[in-house]
Chain A
Amino acid sequence: MDFDFSQEQRLLQETARSFFTQECSTKRVRELMATPTSSDDKLWSALTEQGWTGMTLSEEVGGLGFGLVDLCVVAEEMGRACLPGPFFSTYWAAALLENAGTPAQRKPLLEAIASGDKKSTVAWLEHGTDWKPESIAMTATTDGDNVLLTGRKVFVTDAASADVILVVVRQGKSWAVAPVPSNAKGLAIRDLVSMDETRKLSDVTLEEVTIKESQLLAVAKADDLQRANDIASVVLCAELVGVMQLLMEMSIEYAKSRQQFDKPIGSFQGVQHQCADMLLYTESSRSAAYYAAWALGTRDASASQAAAIAKAYCSEAGRLVGNHACQVHGGIGFTWEHDLHLYYKRTKLAEVLLGPPTFHRERIAAIILDT
């Protein structure tokens, strides 16, 4: 057993870190978050040139064929850089396609993701629903060789920049994924103004949006849909680990340099103990996130439970680290000028995206108490 990065994973980490240092400074983050999509072609093509949008996809569709742990190594660096734009949403879409439809149906969609040609996202939630596959109510109506989609999906991440939106619908006792081009007739995207400006949210309304029935990808089991969300959750957790690590480093640096009472404030135990707690939360999140990545990647029996544990734990830990970081920084950390809030807001969105801790704890409770 080896619960540590391999030599290759360490190299990947270094590559990713220097890539983001170069391509994604917080100055750039601030410029991009002020745009409607928080993304631009230059950064996106630099990312896709690295092959990262196809990291875990098979070589048949132009992917790199790496494991989910490797993807998380990169995702952690993305968190550290507060990377804006649709990488996460695109990967969520790729995870959803993994178990949807036939190989022939998915191939062109996955190829477009791996090559970076098509930014993608998933339209899952509906008004007033939770994240359970069973809660999805929207359906697709057959109309000759076509299907018609009518309904409203809410809180869709990065719909503003996506080329393809994967709309998840109910088909009797099973489900289907409808890949809808973002410029399709009858599709309206309403951008929402939300706390974390680096990751945009939109409402998506569909009014008799028409796609070919042959393009509808069937998903037989709720577990297959859940697996996509579990993979997306773990990528989000890995991002959170990078966010937490950076918030902690920022706080320690500040506590060592900021002087009060003629001493660095980092010499006071009241400040030290908050930093020690940040280490505890960050390292524990790292353990939970990478274990879940390994379990999902190898389809270990514990995978779904491990993802629920990671999402429940990292969500809370991210919030606590954010709060401690803000407290250690004092007034300066509360300003717009300081970068802390970019990361702070990331932890807040990640806490509730793909289900808040209560949702995942209930999944865990069902496993340990109802069986």
Chain B
Amino acid sequence: MDLNLSESELEFQQSLRNWLSKNCPKPWAGKQRGPDHINYLRDWQRTLYDGGWAGIHWPKEYGGRGATPIEQAIFQEEMARANAPEQISVIGLMIVGPTIIAVGTEEQKKRYLEKILSCEEIWCQGFSEPNAGSDLASLSTRAVEDGDHFVVNGQKIWTSFAHIADWCLLLARTNPNVPKHKGLTALLVDMHSPGVEAKPLRQMSGEADFNEVFFTNARVPKANVFGQINDGWTSAVATLMNERANLGSGLYVLSKKFFEGLVERAKEHLSASQSVTKDPIARQRIAQAFVELEVYRLNTLRALSKLSKMGMPGPEGSILKLFWSEMNQRTNQIAMEILGLEGQLKSVDDGKWVFNYLRCRANTIEGGTSEIMKNIIAQRVLGMPKSY
């Protein structure tokens, strides 16, 4: 056990730091999520690509750097340290790209991978449906063969980035007459093709982070079948594993920024005519949030070490998503307790506290509910009998 960075890790950190000091743009000051903001984020992704810092964990032959899991964690920490903008092609970089590298054909790799890195094409992931959430394999969007095409009809929901995406990794039913896991096919769908419509879905916070996507006789060439026909479940599982494994260190950085913002705000916030940070109970609550944040960071580092050595995450990897989502909800609750009525105001810090508090409700639902995550831990990690 040696938690010091190795020489090559230090070198990686230094060269990224140097590059960021010259290339990191000023933080976005205008309206969030508008078209100008999207362009700003696209430009940033392009800058990263030109500098060789996009998709660093991808193998070198596909345009990445073959970065180790530890280097990925360093990358995320340095991005946070420099206050760099988020990466808009996160679905492509973290989820779809690695799955294409694992499952895609050579033609597909040539066609799609570089454009993900350069942000020329943005991806979304069409999995969940109104009647297929935790029980994803029961989805009912149909893809029917018609000559050298599949014709797709159905509806997806909770699709992040669909309103700006160029491509969708879609999971559809191609054979309704076999057990539900066995009749699914993954398709790469051009979001600009006729019969595909994305409609933003307004969530409880008032913002629209997700979309509904409607497919009406949308035609998808057979060359865009991803993996084998009727073997879409394999790619879906690979995708979900990438989702749960790759978002870990990025989530730490988000939570760290949130916590630092909370400390700063708490120092200024008055309660009984003095800073709330003098209140013993508030101190306990803030310290507990910090304890959890640190323990999450350490869990991530352990999982990454295991991943580097064994090629797969150990038991600590399976708890990351569960830990983070529940921690984020607790920390947001602490923020609300500390800020009192000020936390209710959309005028305070650009509505950040209101938005985050409401948004975090979804954390224990999206990407696998806490209940599903606990089922997976109990049955696949602890070896307990199946419950369904």
Pairwise interchain contact A284-B286, C-beta atoms closer than 8 A: no
Pairwise interchain contact A284-B283, C-beta atoms closer than 8 A: no
- Across the two chains, which residue of chain B brings its CB closest to A270? B387
Pairwise interchain contact A252-B387, C-beta atoms closer than 8 A: no
Fill in one digit per residue for B304-318: 1 if any A CB lies within 8 Å of its CB, else 0.
111001000001101
What CA separation (Å) do A283 and B313 show in the bound complex? 13
Q: Which of A368, A369, A370 has the most CB of B within 10 A?
A: A369
Contact residues on B (Cβ < 8 Å of other chain), bracket: 35 or more
What CA separation (Å) do A279 and B283 show in the bound complex? 28
A259 CB to closest chain B CB (Å) equals: 11
What CA separation (Å) do A275 and B385 show in the bound complex? 12
Docked complex: B287-339 residues within 8 A CB-CB of A: 287-288, 290-292, 294-295, 298-299, 301-302, 304-306, 309, 315-316, 318-319, 322-323
Pairwise interchain contact A362-B284, C-beta atoms closer than 8 A: yes
Pairwise interchain contact B295-A269, C-beta atoms closer than 8 A: no
B279 CB to closest chain A CB (Å) equals: 10
Pairwise interchain contact A4-B306, C-beta atoms closer than 8 A: yes
Fill in one digit per residue for A261-276: 1 if any B CB lies within 8 Å of its CB, else 0.
0011011110111011
What CA separation (Å) do A255 and B378 show in the bound complex? 11
Instruction: Count how many pairs of residues, one from A and one from B, have CB atoms less than 8 Å apart in the complex.
Output: 157
Docked complex: A244-303 residues within 8 A CB-CB of B: 252, 255-256, 263-264, 266-269, 271-273, 275-277, 279-280, 283-284, 286-288, 290-291, 294-295, 298, 300
Pairwise interchain contact B301-A369, C-beta atoms closer than 8 A: no
Docked complex: B248-299 residues within 8 A CB-CB of A: 263, 266-267, 277, 280, 283-284, 286-288, 290-292, 294-295, 298-299
Fill in one digit per residue for A1-20: 1 if any B CB lies within 8 Å of its CB, else 0.
11111100100000000000
What CA separation (Å) do A43 and B387 show in the bound complex? 45
Pairwise interchain contact B1-A3, C-beta atoms closer than 8 A: yes
Fill in one digit per residue for B348-388: 1 if any A CB lies within 8 Å of its CB, else 0.
00000000000000000000000101110111011111110
B124 within 8 A of A: no
The residues of B that contact A5 with a CB separation of less than 8 Å are: 1
Pairwise interchain contact A364-B3, C-beta atoms closer than 8 A: no
B82 within 8 A of A: no
Pairwise interchain contact A364-B291, C-beta atoms closer than 8 A: yes
The residues of B that contact A287 with a CB separation of less than 8 Å are: 295, 298-299, 301-302, 316
Residue in A256, A267, A280, A290 whose CB lies within 8 Å of B323: A280
B305 CB to closest chain A CB (Å) equals: 4
B354 CB to closest chain A CB (Å) equals: 24
Pairwise interchain contact B375-A272, C-beta atoms closer than 8 A: yes
Please judge, given known A-B contacts A272-B375, A368-B287, whether A294 and B3 are in contact too, CB under 8 Å. yes
Pairwise interchain contact B299-A2, C-beta atoms closer than 8 A: no
What CA separation (Å) do A273 and B384 show in the bound complex? 11
A309 within 8 A of B: yes
Please judge, given known A-B contacts A1-B4, A277-B374, whether A284 and B299 are in contact too, CB under 8 Å. yes
What CA separation (Å) do A313 and B298 show in the bound complex? 12
The residues of B that contact A275 with a CB separation of less than 8 Å are: 377-378, 382, 384
A143 CB to closest chain B CB (Å) equals: 42
Residue in A4, A69, A264, A362 whose CB lies within 8 Å of B287: A362
The residues of A that contact B277 with a CB separation of less than 8 Å are: 365, 369-370
Which 5 pairs of residues, A with B, have the shortest CB-CB distance? A272-B378, A361-B287, A276-B374, A287-B298, A365-B283
Could you give 30 example pairs across A and B, Cβ below 8 Å? A1-B301, A2-B1, A2-B309, A69-B1, A263-B385, A267-B387, A269-B378, A272-B379, A272-B384, A273-B371, A273-B375, A275-B384, A276-B373, A276-B378, A280-B377, A283-B302, A287-B298, A300-B3, A309-B291, A309-B295, A312-B287, A361-B283, A361-B291, A362-B284, A364-B290, A364-B291, A365-B284, A365-B287, A369-B266, A370-B277
